[in-house]
Amino acid sequence: MVRTQIQLTDVQAQALKELAAAEGKSMAGLVRDGVDSLLRARGAVDREAVKARSIAAIGRFKSAVRDLGSKHDDHLSDAFGA
């Protein structure tokens, strides 16, 4: 995690403190939850989730191309015209 400082209004800080106490969470945890919600709402990509799905897909599909593993860059270049 990266340590970050933010400035809140007195009202925001008090409301966050009360909410944290009521939910048994830290103020920082609630701020992280809020940032996650904002990023999801704005369509930000969860890179770790994409990475996990990509890794899970490895080996799940069959191909008639025998040298795909060793020459994947060449095949991609041919497919996308690079």
23 domain-assigned? yes
Q: Which domain holds residue 68?
A: 10-80
Cα 11 from Cα 9, distance rounded (Å): 5
In the chain, how many domains are there? 1
59 domain-assigned? yes
Cα 60 from Cα 53, distance rounded (Å): 12
5 domain-assigned? no
Give residue-wise pLDDT tens across range 9-54: 999 999 999 999 999 999 999 999 999 999 889 888 888 888 999 9
**What's the whole-model pTM score?**
0.56
The pLDDT, as a whole number, for residue 44 is: 82
64 domain-assigned? yes
Cα 78 from Cα 20, distance rounded (Å): 55
The pLDDT, as a whole number, for residue 82 is: 64
56 domain-assigned? yes
28 domain-assigned? yes
Name residues whose C-beta falls within 8 Å of residue 59's C-beta, 6 or more positions apart in sequence.
none
Give residue-wise pLDDT tens across range 66-79: 887 788 888 889 88
**Residue whose token pair is 């799905």:** 53
1 domain-assigned? no
43 domain-assigned? yes
